Amino acid sequence: MTDEQAPPQPQTQSSTTQILILCGMAFFLFLGVAACQQFLVPIIMDRTGASRTGASTVFSLVYFGGPLWLWLYAYYFRVLREKWSIVLAGCAYTLFGLLIYFTNRIELAIVAALIWGWGGETLWATGPAQIINVSDVRRYGSISGLYQSSVYLGQMLGVIMLGYIMGRVAGDQSDPVATRTGQDTVLLTAVGISLIGNVLSLFLRVKPKERPPARLSDAVICLKRPAGRYLVMLSVANYLGWGLVLTSFTILVAKDLGEGRNLHWIVLPYYVGRLLAAWISGHTSDKVGRERVMLVGFVLGSLSLLAVALYQNHWMVAASSLVLGIQAAIVSVVGAAATGDYIREDERHFVFAGTTAWGYLVAGSTMIASPLLRDIFGNFRPSFVVFAAFYALCAILVTNMRARLRGQKVTATGT
């Protein structure tokens, strides 16, 4: 059969269109329900009657569920493939917001947390992998930075917007009826915005690829490769900082320093730092190398935690939050680009699944371990010194990353 007689091939979606759809979907998901994280503990407390510890434990299940979903990922990804993994993961975010809106029992809140955990694990496994797979090999860092910037911009604006709505609608926080109305408005607004992201994801067209049958061992494929083990370390470090900002920094400012009115100034710099560094770090890593950029991030993170350990005031905590946000963006973006460099296309989604799951586990553990160290020693200094030492260790390890992985880079076609 000649070329003229060959049947026409179905038109495929351009890589630029896929990238724009994925970035738009991520922006609206994180502008909506994902931005509710800062308000979840009091919302769960008020709706279920749970204690602060109980509500925090429910919230941590979002992260502790990651390893569970990792073990199952190979099987359900085989059925759902790229598009429907992304679509349904986004729907899980929106469903979480709806379930929390209607819940009045802690059991339903636990179910909602596990659903969101599945959505987070699946979205962060498949979305970044698809971004890398359709990007030019010379622009892995820049395109990963664009995707992460969409996430960070959405979440930062969402926190500001939902916080403003809560303040305007709830007014006097001592009035339980006004507080409930404010929470309802925040949740419904977040759900409505996330629905836009869900609709956008339906327009994604990804050509299905034949993949080998799923095996349980695929779940831990990230630990079978030297590059995968480095990427797990990077993910662990990234989520560790997030766990510190969500819990230890909040407790330090609100309880130890007695400045709860300044709490939003502690979390917001983290989002600002992530947004500022995301695209810049990815683009720079395309030019000067992944390892050099990540080294800068780990050194900055270590120094910022040492500083807040020595000088505990809300200005220093806010500055450290900003630096940890910069470090988190560097690790996320450059780590995603390094996955494209060192991991074959048919294994990338498994590696992203593994790094996300291990990162989730560390985030949940940090939420518990850091406050526990504070209770044991009477202040947060030992906790911050321990985590600063961990970042310093990561800086040492990443300097050896290029030498250890020399010769393992994949080609542009992923073979």
Domain CATH for 80: 1.20.1250.20
**Is 202 in the same domain as 232?**
no
**Is 272 in the same domain as 127?**
no
Share of the chain above pLDDT 70, in %: 89
**Is 158 in the same domain as 109?**
yes
pTM: 0.83
| Predicted pLDDT at 83 | 93
Answer whether residue 415 shows pLDDT above 50.
no
Lowest mean pLDDT among 23-27, 47-51, 247-251, 361-365: 247-251
Neighbouring CB atoms inside 10 A of 305's CB total 28
**Is 177 in the same domain as 237?**
no
Under the banding of pLDDT at 50, 70 and 90, the label for residue 383 is: confident
Compute the CA torsion angle 105, 109, 114, 119 (nearest 10 deg).
140
Q: How many whole angstroms separate alpha carbon 66 and alpha carbon 69? A: 5
Q: Tell me what the mean pLDDT of segment 36-56 comes to.
A: 81
Mean per-residue pLDDT over the chain, rounded = 85
Answer whether residue 213 shows pLDDT above 70.
no
In a domain, residue 6? The reply is no
Share of the chain above pLDDT 90, in %: 35
Q: Which domain holds residue 270?
A: 220-405
Last residue of a domain, one of 147, 180, 206: 206
In a domain, residue 23? The reply is yes
In a domain, residue 4? The reply is no
**pLDDT digits 0-9 by tens, 157-195:** 998 898 888 888 876 556 778 888 888 999 999 999 999
**Is 127 in the same domain as 225?**
no
Under the banding of pLDDT at 50, 70 and 90, the label for residue 379 is: confident
Neighbouring CB atoms inside 10 A of 161's CB total 17
**Is 290 in the same domain as 171?**
no
**Is 158 in the same domain as 230?**
no
**Is 263 in the same domain as 395?**
yes
**Is 186 in the same domain as 305?**
no
In a domain, residue 211? The reply is no
In a domain, residue 177? The reply is yes
Closest C-alpha to 158, from 192, 208, 108, 198:
192
Last residue of a domain, one of 176, 206, 236: 206
Closest C-alpha to 362, from 328, 333, 339, 336:
328
Closest C-alpha to 232, from 69, 137, 353, 342:
353
| Predicted pLDDT at 249 | 82
Q: Give every CB contact of residue 8 below 8 A, 6+ residues apart in sequence.
A: none
**Is 124 in the same domain as 158?**
yes
**Is 126 in the same domain as 248?**
no
Total domains, the chain:
2
Q: How many whole angstroms separate alpha carbon 151 and alpha carbon 190? A: 15
Last residue of a domain, one of 178, 206, 234: 206
Q: How many whole angstroms separate alpha carbon 190 and alpha carbon 178? A: 18
Specify the higher pLDDT residue, 277 or 402: 277
Answer whether residue 334 shows pLDDT above 70.
yes
DSSP 35: G
In a domain, residue 168? The reply is yes
The CA-atom distances, in angstroms, between 214 and each of 68, 81, 206, 223, 350 are: 16, 12, 20, 17, 11
**pLDDT digits 0-9 by tens, 293-321:** 999 999 999 999 999 999 888 888 889 98
The angle subtended at Cα 120 by Cα 115 and Cα 126, nearest 5°, is: 125
Highest mean pLDDT among 27-31, 134-138, 180-184: 27-31
**Is 396 in the same domain as 267?**
yes
| Predicted pLDDT at 2 | 45
